[in-house]
Structure 1
Amino acid sequence: MRILLVEDDLDMSTALSRALSRRGFHVTLCLDGNTALRQMREGSNDAVVLDLAIPGLDGLHLLHRTRSQGILTPVLILTGRNSVGDRIAGLNAGADDYLSKPFDLGELEARLRALGRRQAAPVRRIECGALRLDLDSGAIFAADMPMALGPREACVLRALLAQPGHAVAKEALYRLAYPEQVPERQDFVEVLVHRLRRKVSGCGVEILTLRGLGYLLRRERGG
């Protein structure tokens, strides 16, 4: 497997690169987010090992940027941030896996090989109108073009697309989009849904408000 290792700690990246190389991986080192973005756009790697605290473009913003551009290379976050909130934020941003430091090298190898097997498998997707959600990557497309969505908009639309024709509670959408927000402000979800209605216009779908239940995504009638 060809691995892009994005880690700005030179001692850590050098040692990890050597260890993975001895286990049969081809590793390319990258020390900052902007360079990593260019590397990921080239699509020459089978997986990315990504630290969050990197210079230039930090790990979460790098994930948001690549996923919004339809770059589906599997990403494993490898970071010292180990709280539940950090893991949720990383996975919601589009990471495929999350491993906290310190870590066991054998576990990292196993997780990378699992990502490789998953990448080789057929893409699982959900479609509604011209919208498509790729379940493995979390990427959302409109008429086969990646949608320009903010991270919170993407969280809400993924949840609605995952269950087309079924109501999703406003509270559940709020928790997905704002995992660490206090105090609770569910009216924020209304703003996100308003934006999404504009962005999905022309895709043959509609987002309905079901009072007391939440929101529902479905094909437009006659679409």
Structure 2
Amino acid sequence: MRVLLVEDDADLADSLADGLRREGYLVEVARDGAAALVALAHTEADLLLLDRDLPALSGDAVCRILRQQGEPIRILMLTAAGTLDDRVAGLDLGADDYLPKPFAYVELLARMRALGRRTAEGGTVLEASGVRVDTVRRIAERDGVPLRLTRKEYGVLECLLTARGGWVEPGELLDDVWPDAEERNRGVVKAAVHTLRRKLGHPDPIDSAPGRGYRIGTGA
């Protein structure tokens, strides 16, 4: 995956870029919003890691310009402003996800993997067995009825739908939805799937199999 990292803190930018390159990402770094737009005009990137508080041109402005231009690049906004209102504002501007600083590196990687899967699949809506998720607005519904999901339940549902009928192992769900070390046990996955099933209703769209994990079939 090709990543453009836009961060004015030189030490943080260098540290993140080095780490991501070791993970196999192709990373280019821009120090401000104006430089980011120039870089995107000359190179193709799959994911934009965008600091919200940038000199010359803010991350908000960069995000707004890209969406007005119809640029489909996935945007993960990084910022020290982490209140609910801040997150909502960032998503309303067109960001695909929002990660408050300071963040755990493993969580950043998990968010990037999730956005990478969306890029590979294309589009913003995932749907199977009457279950529908809008990955930009982060809303879910079953047979047209909105679902009130927790963040973890939503994360599990999005992972299962992204697999397009394929099996998702509990370890994969832990990596993507529970990146924090203190929460990493398969019991939390089982509990989230249980409550998710209850909220999805009948017929149960989630299949499970020992040694394989979970899936949502692509049939009706």
- TM-score bucket (shorter structure): 0.5 to 0.7
Paired position in structure 1 for 2:38: 38
TM-score normalized with structure 2 length = 0.55
1:114 match: secondary structure:
helix
User: 1:123 deviation in Å?
Assistant: 2.0
1:29 match: secondary structure:
strand
Change (3 A) 1:94 1:30: same
Q: Give RMSD over aligned pairs.
A: 1.7
Paired position in structure 2 for 1:9: 9
Distance 1:104 1:121 in 2: 26
Map 1:173-212; keep pairs closer than 5 Å: none
User: 1:113 deviation in Å?
Assistant: 1.2
Change (3 A) 1:42 1:73: farther
Distance 1:124 1:76 in 2: 15
Paired position in structure 2 for 1:49: 49
Paired position in structure 2 for 1:97: 97
* Conservation of the 8 A alpha-carbon contact between 2:78 and 2:100: yes
* Conservation of the 8 A alpha-carbon contact between 1:60 and 1:93: yes
Change (3 A) 1:136 1:38: farther
Distance 1:87 1:122 in 2: 24
User: 1:41 deviation in Å?
Assistant: 3.3
* Conservation of the 8 A alpha-carbon contact between 1:40 and 1:73: no
In structure 1, give the amino acid aligned to 2:63: L
Change (3 A) 1:122 1:11: closer
Distance 2:55 2:45 in 1: 21
* Conservation of the 8 A alpha-carbon contact between 2:52 and 2:77: yes
* Conservation of the 8 A alpha-carbon contact between 2:76 and 2:99: yes
Identity %: 43
2:76 match: secondary structure:
strand
> What CA deviation, in whole Å up to 9, does each residue of 1:32-80 have, x standing for no partner?
1011112223451110101011111100011111100001100001111
> What CA deviation, in whole Å up to 9, does each residue of 1:91-143 have, x standing for no partner?
00000001111111111111111111101114257xxxxxxxxx6568xxxxx
In structure 1, give the amino acid aligned to 2:68: S
Whether 2:53 is the aligned partner of 1:82: answer no
TM-score normalized with structure 1 length = 0.55
Structure 1: segments with no counterpart, 5+ residues: 126-134, 139-223
Distance 2:21 2:32 in 1: 21
How many matched pairs?
Answer: 129
Distance 1:124 1:83 in 2: 25
* Conservation of the 8 A alpha-carbon contact between 1:17 and 1:27: yes
1:95 match: secondary structure:
coil
In structure 1, give the amino acid aligned to 2:12: M
Paired position in structure 2 for 1:195: none
* Conservation of the 8 A alpha-carbon contact between 1:91 and 1:97: yes
Distance 1:70 1:64 in 2: 10
* Conservation of the 8 A alpha-carbon contact between 1:74 and 1:137: no
* Conservation of the 8 A alpha-carbon contact between 1:41 and 1:71: no
Whether 2:108 is the aligned partner of 1:115: answer no
2:44 match: secondary structure:
coil
1:82 match: secondary structure:
coil
